Amino acid sequence: MDAKHTPGPWFVLPLSTTMGAEAREPGSFSIGTSEDAGKANILCSRFPWLECADEMRANARLIAAAPELLKALRAIDDAFVDDSHVDADTPTGRAIIAARAAVSKAEGFAKPRFENVFCSQCGGEFGPGNSGYSHCEDHRKATGA
Ligand SMILES: [Zn+2]
């Protein structure tokens, strides 16, 4: 799938290198497409919020890692092409389901997580969805069926 976001890798840059000397305070940063601020396409900038500068830097590192994280999650999803092999009762199955949910979130929930969801109680099928039902009462409330 082609990415609609700016291709990675992304880098955390000091705001002073992208916005000038007036932005030297800790907690200020930019996210850019190059380690060289002069060559980077700046994706976003954050001005100082001094009381939580460490948290802001940690957030910046997480944001900058997003393209690589998305690529890794897609690789996990691609390694398990057939949904019938995903067992939500196993650690691996839960990891794959979580990876698919994160990819869907990054892609704007463009498609449901599962091609078909089921009820654990009656075995009923309910078509595409992001989660199944544990009890018949749940799908009766959600779908009327
Ligand atoms: Zn049911």
**Quick one: which of 39, 20, 49, 43 has its CA closest to 30?**
43
**Centre of ligand 1 from the C-alpha of residue 97, in Å:** 21
Residues 11/64, Cβ–Cβ less than 8 Å? yes
- Domains of the chain, by residue range, sit at 11-64, 68-143
Read off the pLDDT of each residue in 118-137 and give the average, rounded to a whole number: 87
Does residue 24 surpass a pLDDT of 80?
Answer: no
CA gap 138, 118 in Å, rounded:
11
Q: What is the mean pLDDT of the chain?
A: 80
**Centre of ligand 1 from the C-alpha of residue 41, in Å:** 52
**Centre of ligand 1 from the C-alpha of residue 123, in Å:** 6
**Centre of ligand 1 from the C-alpha of residue 119, in Å:** 5
CA gap 30, 9 in Å, rounded:
14
Of residues 52 and 42, more confidently modeled:
42
**Centre of ligand 1 from the C-alpha of residue 71, in Å:** 36
Q: Which two tokens stand for residue 90?
A: 């196993």
**Centre of ligand 1 from the C-alpha of residue 52, in Å:** 48
Which residues are placed with Cβ below 5 angstroms of ligand 1, an ion?
A: 119, 121-122, 124, 136
**Centre of ligand 1 from the C-alpha of residue 9, in Å:** 45
**Residue percentage of the chain with pLDDT more than 70:** 79
pTM for the structure as a whole: 0.59
Does residue 21 surpass a pLDDT of 60?
Answer: no
pLDDT tens digits for range 61-114: 889 999 999 999 988 888 876 655 677 778 888 888 888 888 887 887 666 778
